[in-house]
């Protein structure tokens, strides 16, 4: 029987209306020594008000530079079953579609070789297996790879790309997010498994600007589906929304960020030339409004959580690009960006930070993208592109 620890501080986290990870850890702790010691050590961390996990170290499987995150206890004499407690990242499927057969097999493998604790999904997107020993890693990898599964990314590498559910379940997807995600994963295998970048690089693909994967806040490269045509309006459905109690002037017209809509109580009008494709009106009136015309994506660069500088959102680099298999134009553009980042990036400097440090002008010139108004983020405060005499004579 696994050892049972008193956890008065962790018990507090089970109170309140939300599901608690402590409850789930306790279930696992009743079954395995490793999960029991993980719970005991976590309680100790809370009691001592400091972490007892040592992070990092060179640990992994043969031929791979990432996919396993080394973690050790700094008090192994008290918690010997978590002396090693490595995390294994499994490359997730596009939009997290799994068969129940796979999930059962995955759990069986993990019960056999690890703590039984999982995290579906980590914020990186991977299927995360929490806690195993160094001597188990090759066996875990053999079990997964023999079934066609692979490790995800970690360290200074391309991280496992992720995407929204896209056309699999959403009629508003302007691009095939699942296929793009899969294609990026296959194309850049080397960049994912053998870390060679200055720091991490994340792709997130979403079908429209509703951005169900929060790509604009969490990805070095956000790929956001958009359209070129007008928004088709079904005026009868607009009237229905109003009949059902929607205040169209306030909730739709008043919230349009580019103020390109008007409503006189009978007709909704959109000045499509000034629409920024934010999706607000369409998401609120799904039956009345619909994008039309050519579909593609906007490519944005540079979002990340705080590190060298504070949190940043991605900003537009390419306002519109066709996204059709095999996505060569997009992939060539990414290779150029990586070349420039590889050449100039400091250790642990994200590509967005490098653009801020060296300037958008140099970045755009290197990747061969013309400056366009959509790239300007804050025009009055920092016009980041400066034209030279030569530009003006073109």
Residues at the site binding ligand SF4, with contacts judged by CB under 6 A: 256-258, 260-261, 270, 275-282
Give min distance, CB of 243 to ligand SF4, in A. 21
Closer to ligand SF4 by CB, 10 or 275: give it. 275
Cβ 167 vs Cβ 176: under 8 Å: yes
Give min distance, CB of 254 to ligand SF4, in A. 10
Cβ 257 vs Cβ 280: under 8 Å: yes
Give min distance, CB of 186 to ligand SF4, in A. 33
Give how far Cα 296 sits from Cα of 7, 169, 176, 318, 355, Å. 52, 18, 10, 11, 25
Which two structure tokens, joined as six digits, stand for 36?
A: 């029991």
Give min distance, CB of 279 to ligand SF4, in A. 5
Closer to ligand SF4 by CB, 241 or 338: give it. 241
Closer to ligand SF4 by CB, 107 or 276: give it. 276
Give min distance, CB of 242 to ligand SF4, in A. 17
Give min distance, CB of 260 to ligand SF4, in A. 5
Which two structure tokens, joined as six digits, stand for 5?
A: 């620890």
Helices (H), the chain: 8-12, 21-29, 33-48, 100-113, 137-145, 177-187, 189-193, 215-218, 235-243, 280-284, 328-344, 351-358, 360-367, 389-392
- DSSP calls for 320-389: EE---TT-HHHHHHHHHHHHHHHHHPPTT--HHHHHHHH-HHHHHHHHT----GGG-SSTTT-------H
Closer to ligand SF4 by CB, 189 or 258: give it. 258
Instruction: Write the burial class of residue 140 (CB in 10 Å: 0-12 exposed, 13-18 middle, 19+ buried).
Output: buried
**How far is residue 370's CA from residue 290's CA, in Å, rounded to a whole number?**
30
Closer to ligand SF4 by CB, 232 or 276: give it. 276
Give min distance, CB of 273 to ligand SF4, in A. 11
Closer to ligand SF4 by CB, 254 or 325: give it. 254
Closer to ligand SF4 by CB, 260 or 369: give it. 260
């Amino acid at each position: 029987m696994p050892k049972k620890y008193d956890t008065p501080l962790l018990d507090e986290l089970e109170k309140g209306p939300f599901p608690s990870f402590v409850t789930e850890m306790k279930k696992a702790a009743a079954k395995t020594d490793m999960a029991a010691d993980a719970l005991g050590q976590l309680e100790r961390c809370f009691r001592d008000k400091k972490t007892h996990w040592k992070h990092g170290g060179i640990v992994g499987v043969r031929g791979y530079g990432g996919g396993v995150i080394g973690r050790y206890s700094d008090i192994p004499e008290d918690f010997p079953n978590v002396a090693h407690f490595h995390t294994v990242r499994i490359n997730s499927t596009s939009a997290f579609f799994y068969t129940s057969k796979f999930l059962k097999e995955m759990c069986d493998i993990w019960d056999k070789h690890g703590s039984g604790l999982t995290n579906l999904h980590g914020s990186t997107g991977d299927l995360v297996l929490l806690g195993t020993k160094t001597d188990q890693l090759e066996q875990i990898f053999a079990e997964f790879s023999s079934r066609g599964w692979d490790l995800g990314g970690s360290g200074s590498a391309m991280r496992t790309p992720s995407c929204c559910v896209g056309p699999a379940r959403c009629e508003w997807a302007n691009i095939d997010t699942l296929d793009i995600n899969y294609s990026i994963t296959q194309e850049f295998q080397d960049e994912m498994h053998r870390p060679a970048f200055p720091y991490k690089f994340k792709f997130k693909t979403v079908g429209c600007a509703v951005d169900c994967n929060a790509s604009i806040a969490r990805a070095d490269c956000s790929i956001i589906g958009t359209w070129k045509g007008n928004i088709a309006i079904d005026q009868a459905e607009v009237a229905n929304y109003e009949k059902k109690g929607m205040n169209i002037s306030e909730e739709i017209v008043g919230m349009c960020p580019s103020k390109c809509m008007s409503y006189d109580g009978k007709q909704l009008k959109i000045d499509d030339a000034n629409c920024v494709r934010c999706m607000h009106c369409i998401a609120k009136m799904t039956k009345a409004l619909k994008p039309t015309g050519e579909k593609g994506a906007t490519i944005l660069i540079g979002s990340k959580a705080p590190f060298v500088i504070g949190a940043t959102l991605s900003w537009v680099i390419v306002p519109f690009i066709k996204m059709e298999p095999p996505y060569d134009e997009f992939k060539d553009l990414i290779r150029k960006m990586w070349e420039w980042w590889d050449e100039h990036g400091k250790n642990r400097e994200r590509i967005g930070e490098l653009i801020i440090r060296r300037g958008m002008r140099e970045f755009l010139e290197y990747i061969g993208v013309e400056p366009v108004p959509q790239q300007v983020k804050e025009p009055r405060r920092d016009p980041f592109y400066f034209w030279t005499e030569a530009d003006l004579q073109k």
